[in-house]
């Protein structure tokens, strides 16, 4: 490794981060203190080798008890606050008309601004409802990059997803600060090709997960809003990490430094027509989601359909206590000090990895560091699943559990049946909210560096079991001899 180059690269990258982030002078120290802890267990290398072999080299199939630092996902893994736990005791577990539903409805109206709310057990429950209501067979659904469950529900409803994110999003080295933006030219091309009546809505994700946790700008959303109003196309937000997107707008976009995260969130939602939400991320709960919108006719359909798939419209598959914790979580998530610490911790980890010469997606995103497996393991062909192999290797190295976000996650093209071979072949080191400390991040850096040093010895994998849907969750692999 050329030390001069590493130092030089890391300086350039740090300058980019400093130019795009105004938080650097503020502390990101945790705005809370720890009241309850969960003990961690360190396993031996031999135990981990056996565990990953038994899990078919898929970190989703490993057992949590065998994991030291769990960076698999930020979904449902947050530490709840004392106020959220206190809210759990206020659970009104009536089958119908739970008080917690009305509380959640009021909070969603206040913070997100949507008139109508239908709770669901988690994000994909809301995606199922929305896709069934809005998509007809033969429709096209444009979006700022796919998300696995979102696209699957669109396809199950007879639609075809069309990627209309800006080109920069597909380039892990591009440092454009708003890689979540929609390319309105690409959207217009689709509308011209198939006709606006075949585009039931555009799916707009905040802090685009598969692009590396990258935000859209308010400027882009305003332009999209104008375009969509002209063509009578609703904008349906994937609000899962939109509070974190609001933080990036606050930090990076001219004219927004003085506006609060809460105000920016509301401004985003006011430019859209409804949302699906996995509350397991931004909203700091272990389970929960919702569908929300402003159109009464759509709401009535969602309210009717939710009783088929989730539960009565005032609980949607959740306990009353879960809705209460969600309402409180939303209040805590819009606090600037929460976001400064949350995203500051991710930045801390990312900057250390950059300084060590680890190729990661730039700019550093909101909820995770994404290692670029194509540059980390350039000798492994994409159909030998380099990101899957690297995630397995990181687990064996130190018990850190991460997730593949590349060729396995992208699945097969329904027309050709071939692997999609997406431009981004990534390993996601996802940081749960309010769970790990700076010292844990340092251990992660050391572990990644140790694997990087012996990267030439790491080979690819072959898939030996492939489920029909969302294969990354349950697929099994073996090392290529």
Catalytic positions are 95, 147-148, 238, 281, 405, 472
* Other CB atoms within 10 Å distance of the CB of residue 469: 12
Per-residue binder mask for ligand PLI (CB under 6 A), 216-255, x = binder: ----------------------x-x---------------
Binding of ligand PLI by 70 (CB under 6 A): no
Q: How many CB atoms lie within 10 A of CB 18?
A: 12
**By CB under 6 A, is residue 214 in contact with ligand PLI?**
no
Closest separation between CB of residue 212 and ligand PLI, Å?
12
Task: Rule CB under 6 A: say whether 73 interacts with ligand PLI.
Answer: yes
| String of contacts with ligand PLI for each residue 263-292, x by CB under 6 A | ---------------x-x--------x---
CA distance 207 to 246: 9
Pattern 127-166, binding to ligand PLI, x per CB under 6 A?
--------------------x-xx----------------
Q: What is the rounded distance in angstroms from the CA atom of residue 306 to the CA atom of residue 126? A: 9
Please, what is the Cα angle at 33 between 32 and 35, to 5 degrees?
125
Question: Which residue's CB comes closest to ligand PLI?
Answer: 123
In this structure, what are the phi and psi dihedrals at residue 436, rounded to the nearest 5 degrees?
Answer: -105, 160
User: Which range binds ligand PLI by CB under 6 A, 18-26, 38-46, 118-126, 370-378?
Assistant: 118-126
Residue 338, C-beta contacts closer than 8 angstroms, at least 6 positions apart: 31, 332
Tokens of 455: 């990267």
Ordered strands of the 368-372 beta sheet: 368-372, 426-430, 403-405
If the CB atoms of residues 205 and 384 are measured against ligand PLI, the closer one turns out to be: 205
DSSP assignment, residue 361? -
Answer for which of 124, 313, 342, 433 binds ligand PLI (CB under 6 A) is: 124
Binding footprint of ligand PLI, residue count (CB under 6 A) = 15
Of 289 and 329, nearer to ligand PLI (C-beta) is 289
CB of 27 to ligand PLI, least distance (A): 28
Greatest C-alpha distance within the chain: 65
Whichever of 58 and 73 has its CB closer to ligand PLI, that residue is 73
* CA separation for the pair 246, 9 (Å, rounded): 29
Minimum CB separation from ligand PLI for residue 52, in Å?
Answer: 19
Q: Min. distance of Cβ 401 from ligand PLI in angstroms? A: 12
Of 149 and 339, CB closest to ligand PLI = 149
Residue 332 Cβ, how far from ligand PLI at the closest point, in Å? 19
Q: How many angstroms separate the CA atoms of 18 and 467, rounded?
A: 43
Least Cβ distance, residue 75 to ligand PLI (angstroms) = 4
The answer for residues whose C-beta is within 8 angstroms of residue 129's C-beta and 6 or more apart is 118, 120, 291, 302, 305, 306, 309, 310
Q: What is the Cα 168 distance to its own chain's centre? A: 18
CA separation for the pair 430, 398 (Å, rounded): 16
Label residue 25 exposed, middle or buried (CB < 10 Å: 0-12, 13-18, 19+): exposed
Binding residue for ligand PLI (CB under 6 A) from 81, 122, 128, 409? Answer: 122
Minimum distance between the CB of residue 282 and ligand PLI, rounded to whole angstroms?
10
Q: What is the closest distance, in whole angstroms, from the C-beta atom of residue 147 to ligand PLI in the complex?
A: 4
Please identify, using beta-carbon distances, which residue of 310 and 384 lies nearer to ligand PLI: 310
Asked if residue 240 lies in contact with residue 290, where contact means CB atoms within 8 angstroms, the answer is no
Place of tokens 């997100």: 112
- 209 binding ligand PLI? (CB under 6 A): yes
Q: What is the CA radius of gyration of the chain?
A: 22
Closer Cβ to ligand PLI, 120 or 339, answer by number = 120
Q: Is 75 in the site for ligand PLI (CB under 6 A)?
A: yes
Q: Write the burial class of residue 232 (CB in 10 Å: 0-12 exposed, 13-18 middle, 19+ buried).
A: exposed
402-211-454 Cα angle (round to 5): 40
Asked if 279 and 326 touch (Cβ cutoff 8 Å), the reply is yes
Q: Which position has the token pair 């073996």?
A: 478
Listed ranges 79-87, 116-124, 350-358, 418-426: which one lies at the site for ligand PLI (CB under 6 A) = 116-124
Nearer to ligand PLI, 209 or 402 (CB): 209
**Looking at 120-128, 313-321, 345-353, 459-467, which segment touches ligand PLI (CB under 6 A)?**
120-128
123 belongs to the binding site for ligand PLI (CB under 6 A): yes
Positions that interact with ligand PLI (CB under 6 A): 73, 75, 122-124, 147, 149-150, 205, 209, 238, 240, 278, 280, 289
């Amino acid at each position: 490794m050329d030390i001069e180059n590493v130092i030089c690269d890391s300086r350039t990258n740090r300058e980019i981060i400093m130019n795009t982030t105004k938080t650097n002078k503020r502390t990101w120290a945790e705005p809370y203190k720890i009241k309850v802890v969960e003990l961690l267990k360190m396993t031996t290398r031999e135990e981990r080798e056996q565990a990953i072999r038994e899990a078919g080299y898929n970190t989703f199939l490993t057992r949590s008890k065998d994991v030291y630092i769990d960076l698999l996902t930020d979904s449902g893994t947050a530490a709840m606050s004392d106020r959220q736990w206190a809210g759990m005791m206020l659970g009104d577990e009536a089958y119908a008309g739970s008080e917690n539903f009305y509380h959640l409805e009021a909070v969603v109206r206040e913070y997100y601004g949507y008139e109508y709310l239908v709770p669901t057990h988690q994000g994909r429950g809301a995606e199922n409802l929305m896709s069934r209501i809005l998509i007809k067979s033969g429709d096209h659904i444009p979006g700022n990059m796919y998300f696995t469950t979102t696209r699957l529900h669109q396809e199950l409803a007879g639609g075809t997803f069309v990627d209309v994110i800006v080109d920069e999003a597909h380039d892990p080295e591009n440092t454009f600060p708003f890689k979540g933006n929609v390319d309105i030219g690409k959207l217009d091309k689709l509308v011209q090709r198939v006709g606006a009546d075949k585009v039931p809505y555009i799916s707009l994700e905040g802090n685009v997960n598969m692009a590396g946790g990258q935000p859209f700008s308010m400027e882009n959303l305003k332009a999209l809003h104008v375009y969509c109003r002209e063509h009578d196309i609703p904008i349906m937000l994937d609000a899962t990490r939109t509070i974190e997107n609001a933080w990036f707008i606050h930090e990076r976009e001219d004219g927004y430094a003085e506006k609060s995260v809460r105000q920016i969130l509301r401004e985003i939602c006011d430019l859209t027509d409804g949302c699906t939400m996995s509350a397991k991320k931004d909203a700091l709960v272990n389970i929960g989601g919702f569908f929300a919108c402003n159109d009464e006719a759509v709401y009535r359909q969602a309210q009717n359909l939710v009783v088929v798939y989730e539960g009565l419209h005032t609980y949607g598959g959740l306990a009353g206590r879960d809705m209460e914790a969600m309402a409180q979580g939303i209040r805590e998530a819009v606090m600037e000090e929460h976001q400064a610490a949350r995203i500051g911790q991710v930045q801390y980890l990312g900057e250390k990895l950059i300084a060590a010469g680890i190729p990661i997606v730039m700019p550093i995103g909101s909820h995770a560091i994404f290692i670029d497996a194509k540059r980390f393991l350039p000798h492994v062909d994409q159909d030998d699943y380099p990101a899957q192999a690297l995630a397995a290797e990181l687990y064996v190295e130190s018990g850190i559990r991460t997730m593949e976000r590349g060729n396995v996650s992208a699945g097969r093209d329904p027309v050709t049946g071939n692997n999609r071979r997406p431009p981004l072949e990534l390993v996601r080191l996802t940081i749960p909210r309010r769970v790990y400390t700076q010292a844990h991040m340092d251990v992660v850096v050391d572990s990644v560096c140790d694997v990087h040093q012996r990267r030439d010895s790491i080979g690819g994998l072959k898939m030996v079991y492939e489920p029909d849907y969302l294969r990354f969750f349950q697929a099994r692999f073996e090392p290529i001899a």
